[in-house]
Structure 1
């Protein structure tokens, strides 16, 4: 576990929460980089898809909510309820991204 005084800048708190949520060091670092890479890919894909269905709007709202909660959990202490919540919201982070990419794929095939 990391020391209490080691806290990243505010814009990496969500990735820090994901890093702390995974007990394996290697998988934690991989998920840390994947969480940042997912944001870059999300921005690039979001620019090319102009069709906003209701499901897409809902999933984007859920993604932003999960991102804000993960950022809040990244600044909390490494204690029992916060670590468990970080695990749950880390799973939700990657699951919502997976659902968004599925929606983008199928919407892109239907309307393009």
Structure 2
């Protein structure tokens, strides 16, 4: 049986209908593989559109489009350095969620099956 982790506060009671919609929209945005890869790429630190595009083999215009959506959802934030803009994760909460989910999908399924037995 899956382990239930204790939470420090009742999350469901604190989530208004408006915030539930906002949260669902964030998860919808992260459901696109290109946007998810962009967010994961910014885990390492601020990156320019060109650097993200080159690393992920995407066009700069597509990266810019995705970044506009991610910015609107407060998943990434711009940081101006001279004439260039770099994008970073908005805050540590986003980094923790993404890092935890990456760790989760990279877990050994055989090890998980042994834990359930």
State TM-score, norm by structure 1.
Answer: 0.29
State TM-score, norm by structure 2.
Answer: 0.28
Higher-RCO chain (CA-CA 8 Å, sequence separation at least 6): 1
- Relative to its length, the structure with more strand (as a share) is 2
Q: Could you say which structure has the larger radius of gyration?
A: 2
